[in-house]
Amino acid sequence: MSLPSYCPKCASPLTTVHDGGRDRPACSAEDCRFVHFGDFSIGCAGVVTREVDGELQALLVQRAQDPFAGAWQIPGGYAEHDELVSTAVEREVHEESGIVATVSDVVAFRHALAGNMGGPSTNIYMIFRLDYQSGDTQADGVEIAKAGFFTMAQMSDMKGVQGLSRWGIEQTLNSQRGTGLSVDRTDNRSEVPGWQLFGLTS
């Protein structure tokens, strides 16, 4: 990915400064102090399970668009810059599958450097366990072609189930609800607008 040439705050040309032990692009205007630390994004995905006839099933959606059109994965997407990540994953699950579910805890995350996964930015991808609340699966027909709940045995017979999604489902099924990182509702800092603390519960 090409580096920016101009400051996004004041439009002055960027120069190079030695900051934090390495050379970084920084604004040339003395009163601006902008330093470019790179491009980052936060992805989130949800493992939603429910029991049907005594069997545990997990929610999958099939991508309708490239990249990876036809692949099956757990529903998810990017958190907006002004959106709490727990809100983002609940929104993405509903948008992609029609299912209403609420965050329980974080079961895993992946960190990928820019370019290593084909994306333009360094990415943190958080996998949440969500509790099914209501709704029947319904794909949007644009971004998502199909949606449904499947057992692990059924997934083994399906073509194109993404490895990371299967791993996230396994992490969820092999751990107890609430044993991952959960929203800390006992700390008053969690009441600050735009804040959300995640921690382990005893």
**CA–CA gap between residue 167 and residue 155 (Å, rounded):** 12
Question: Confidence class of residue 192 from pLDDT cuts 50, 70 and 90?
Answer: confident
Alpha-carbon distances, residue 97 vs 18, 100, 134, 146 (angstroms): 47, 9, 11, 8
pLDDT in tens, 57-114: 999 999 999 989 999 999 999 999 999 999 999 999 999 999 999 999 999 999 999 8
Please identify which residue in the block is written with the tokens 């998810």.
Answer: 76
Q: Report the percentage of the chain scoring pLDDT > 90.
A: 81
pLDDT, position 125: 96
Q: Answer whether 0.75 is exceeded by the pTM.
A: yes
| Class for the domain spanning 40-183 | alpha beta
Taking all residues of the chain, what is their mean pLDDT, rounded to a whole number? 93
**CA–CA gap between residue 41 and residue 33 (Å, rounded):** 23
**15 CB neighbour count, 10 Å cutoff:** 12
pLDDT, position 97: 98
Residue 103, amino acid: V
**Residue 90: closest CA among 63, 128, 125, 123:** 128
- Please check whether residue 198 is in contact with residue 109, taking contact to mean a CB–CB distance below 8 angstroms: no
**CA–CA gap between residue 108 and residue 172 (Å, rounded):** 9
**Residue 169: closest CA among 29, 97, 73, 101:** 73
- Please check whether residue 55 is in contact with residue 64, taking contact to mean a CB–CB distance below 8 angstroms: no
The full set of domain ranges for the chain reads 1-38, 40-183
pLDDT in tens, 20-38: 899 999 999 999 999 999 8
Please identify which residue in the block is written with the tokens 């921690």.
Answer: 199
- Please check whether residue 106 is in contact with residue 127, taking contact to mean a CB–CB distance below 8 angstroms: yes
Q: Residue 40 corresponds to which tokens in the numbers above?
A: 């980052």
Pairing of strands 144-150, 182-183: unpaired
